[in-house]
Structure 1
Amino acid sequence: MQSLLSGFAPIWVLTAVGYLVARTGLLGEQAETVLGRFVFHVAMPAALFTMLTGARLDTFANTAMLAFAAGTVFATGLGFLAGRRLFHRRPADRAISGMAAGYVNSANLGIPVAVQVLGDASFVAQILLFQVLLVSPVILALLDAGTGRGRGGLGRMLMLPVRNPIIMASALGALLSAAGLHLPAALARPGALLGAAAVPTALITLGMSLHGRGGAGAGGRAEVGVAVVLKTLVQPLAALAVGGLLLDLPRHQLLAVVLCSALPTAQNAFVYAREYGLSTALARDSVLTSTLVSMGTLSLVYAALGPTH
C-alpha cells in the first residue's frame, strides 16, 4: 500500500498547489487559460516527441497489449454511448465522456505504480505508445469534428496532424524512431526539459480549475459516477476477461494488463476539454474521483492476481 501511496502523492500535492495558486490569485485571472494552452501547445508535444523518438514502435504488438486495447475500446465505447444515450451530450462532449471512461493515467501514475508493483515499467511504455499513436488521434479527430474545427471537408480533416501540435509531435517522433534517427544532444536535452514540465503544469492547472467552481448537480454527479465505474471497474474487468479467458495470458502478464487497466483517468482528458472550449467539469471530476477510487481498486487487483508468496 505504501508503494501505491508514493505514486499517488505527486498528483494530490500538485493539484493542491494549483488550487492554492488560484485561491490566492498569485498568477492573475488568466493564469489557468495560459497554463492550459502552454501544456497543450508546448510542453505536452515536447514530452510526446521526446518519448517517441527513444521508443521501439514494435513493442506494443503483442497479446498482452491486445487484452489492454480490448478493455480500452470497450470502456471508451461505453463512455461515449453513455454520453449520448444517458446524458444527451453533444458529439464533442461525448469524446470527453469516452476518454474519461477509458484513457488511463499511464505516465505520472502508471510508471511509478508499475515500477513498485511489477518491478519494471516496460508494459506501461507500450501503453503510452498505444494511447499516443492510436487513441489520442481518434479522440482529437472527434473533438475537431464536434467543435467545428474539422469543417472544410476531407482535406481539412487530413490536415489535422499538421494543425494539432500533439498529433504532429507524436507523428514526428514516431517517424524519427522508425528511421532510427536521434536528435543531437544539444536539441534533445532542451526538448526533454520542456517536456518534463507537461505533467506538473497540467496537474497545477487541474487544481486551479477547482477554485470557484460550484458543486455539480445531480446529473453531473451521475455522469461522473458512470465514468468512474467504467474506468476503475469495467475496464479492468474487460481486460481480465479478454486476457484471462480468451488469450490465456500467463499470470504475470495478466497482472500487468489488469493493473494498468485499473489506473485512473489521465489529466489529458481535462487538458483536451479545456483546449477545445468544452465544459471541464466531467473531465476534472473524473480525474480526481477515479484517482481516489483507484487507490482501492489497484490494491484489490494486486491482492487477487499478484504473487502469492
Structure 2
Amino acid sequence: MLAPVVLVIALGWSLVRLGFLSSTAMGEINRLTYWVGLPALLVVRISDATPSFERLGGLLVVLFGATAAVIALASVVAWWGRLPDRSAVTFVHGAFRGNLVFVGLPVVVYAFANTPQAAAIEASVLVAIVPVVIAYNTLAVTLMQVPGRGDPLAALQRVGRGLVSNPILLATLLGLALALAGVRMPTAVDRTLAALGQMALPLALIGIGGGLYASRMGRGQYPWAWVAALMKTALGPAVGWLIGQWVGLGDAEMRVALTLLACPSAAASYVLVAQMDGDVPLIASIILLSHFMALPAMIGVLALTA
C-alpha cells in the first residue's frame, strides 16, 4: 500500500545522492509544488467531491485532541528535564507540529487509492488539514513567545499575513466554495488545473527524499531530539487511537487520523524557531529524526488499523 510512497521518496534521495538534482533544484521543486502543484490539486479534488462533515467532525476531534495531549505531555517532560526555556519551547514545538501537506496528504491519497471510500475520505482530509494547519501555526508562534522574547502581537500579525496569503489555504477555500455552491469550472480551466495537480504528490515525495539526504543532524541535545521525534510519530498516534475509540471513529477515519498524527515534524518549524531565537540545532535534529521514524510509524498504523 505504501510501496509507491517509499519508492518515490527513495528516488528523491537517490537523485540528490547521485548529484542529478542539486540543493538549489530541490528548493525550486518544493517551491513549484507549494505554489502551483498542490493548490491546483486541492481546487480540483475538493470542488469535485463534497466532504462528509460527519467524517470531518470525528477527524478534527481526534487530531485536535491528540495534539493538545502531546503539547501537555511534552511540556511536562521538558519541565521534568529542566530544559532551558529556549530549548523547552523548541522541544514542545517539534513534538506536536506535523508536516501534513507535504507528507500526510500524499500518504493518505495513495493509501486510499482505488478503495470505495476514496473520494469521500480524500475530500474530508483535504478540508480537515486547513483548520489543523492554522492551529499549528498559531500554537507554534504562541509557544515560541513563552520565554518572553520579541513582540507577541507582531509575531501573530506575521502569522496572520502568512495565512491569508497561504496558497494551500486559499486553494482549499476556493475548492470548498465551488463544491458547496455546486459550481463547475469551465472545462479548459478544470483540465488545466487537473494536469498541474498531477505533478503535486510525486514532486512532494521527491522533495522529501531529497531533503532527507541533504539534511544533517544538528549538534543539539541528541537524547531530547530522539524523545521529541518519538512523541511526534508514536505518542501522537497512540493518544489519537484512544480518543478515536472513545468517540467511536470509523475504521477508515481512524486510519486517516493516525496516519496524519504519525507525520514527521514540519520542516517549516526550522524557519520559525530560527526567526524566534529558539534552539535551532535541536529542532533540526528533531525534524531529521522524525522523518526517519515517520515511515515505519505510518506503515504500522496502516497495517494495524486495516
Question: TM tier, shorter chain?
Answer: 0.7 to 0.9
The verdict on how the C-alpha distance between 1:179 and 1:300 changes in structure 2, with shifts beyond 3 A counting, is closer
Query: Quick one: percent identity of the two aligned structures?
Result: 20
Q: CA deviation at 1:102?
A: 8.5
Contact 2:99 2:265 in 1 (8 A): no
The verdict on how the C-alpha distance between 1:267 and 1:96 changes in structure 2, with shifts beyond 3 A counting, is same
Deviates more, 1:44-53 or 1:259-268: 259-268
Report the equivalent of 1:53.
Answer: 47
Map 1:204-215 → 2, pairs under 5 A: 204-215=206-217
TM, length-normalised to structure 1: 0.72
TM, length-normalised to structure 2: 0.72
Aligned to 2:208, the other structure's residue is in SS state helix
Contact 2:95 2:232 in 1 (8 A): no
* Structure 1: tracts of 5 or more residues without a match: 1-6, 303-309
Alignment of 1:238 onto 2:239: yes
The verdict on how the C-alpha distance between 1:203 and 1:81 changes in structure 2, with shifts beyond 3 A counting, is farther
Find the aligned partners of 1:155 and 1:67 in 2 and give their Cα distance: 27
The verdict on how the C-alpha distance between 1:35 and 1:66 changes in structure 2, with shifts beyond 3 A counting, is closer
**Of 14, 17, 32, which aligns to 2:8?**
14
Map 1:1-309 → 2, pairs under 5 A: 7-57=1-51, 59-60=53-54, 64-65=58-59, 67-74=61-68, 77-78=71-72, 81=75, 88-89=86-87, 95-100=93-98, 106-114=104-112, 120-121=117-118, 122-131=120-129, 133-141=130-138, 158-215=160-217, 219-220=221-222, 222-232=224-234, 234-245=235-246, 247=247, 249=248, 253-263=249-259, 265-266=262-263, 269-270=266-267, 272-273=268-269, 281-302=285-306
CA offset digits 1:106-139 (Å, max 9, x no partner): 53322443468x85333453233211x2111233
Find the aligned partners of 1:66 and 1:261 in 2 and give their Cα distance: 8
Contact 1:236 1:258 in 2 (8 A): no
* Structure 2: tracts of 5 or more residues without a match: 275-282
| Aligned residues: CA RMSD | 4.0
The verdict on how the C-alpha distance between 1:54 and 1:290 changes in structure 2, with shifts beyond 3 A counting, is same
The verdict on how the C-alpha distance between 1:181 and 1:63 changes in structure 2, with shifts beyond 3 A counting, is closer
Letter in 1 for 2:127: L
Contact 1:269 1:283 in 2 (8 A): yes
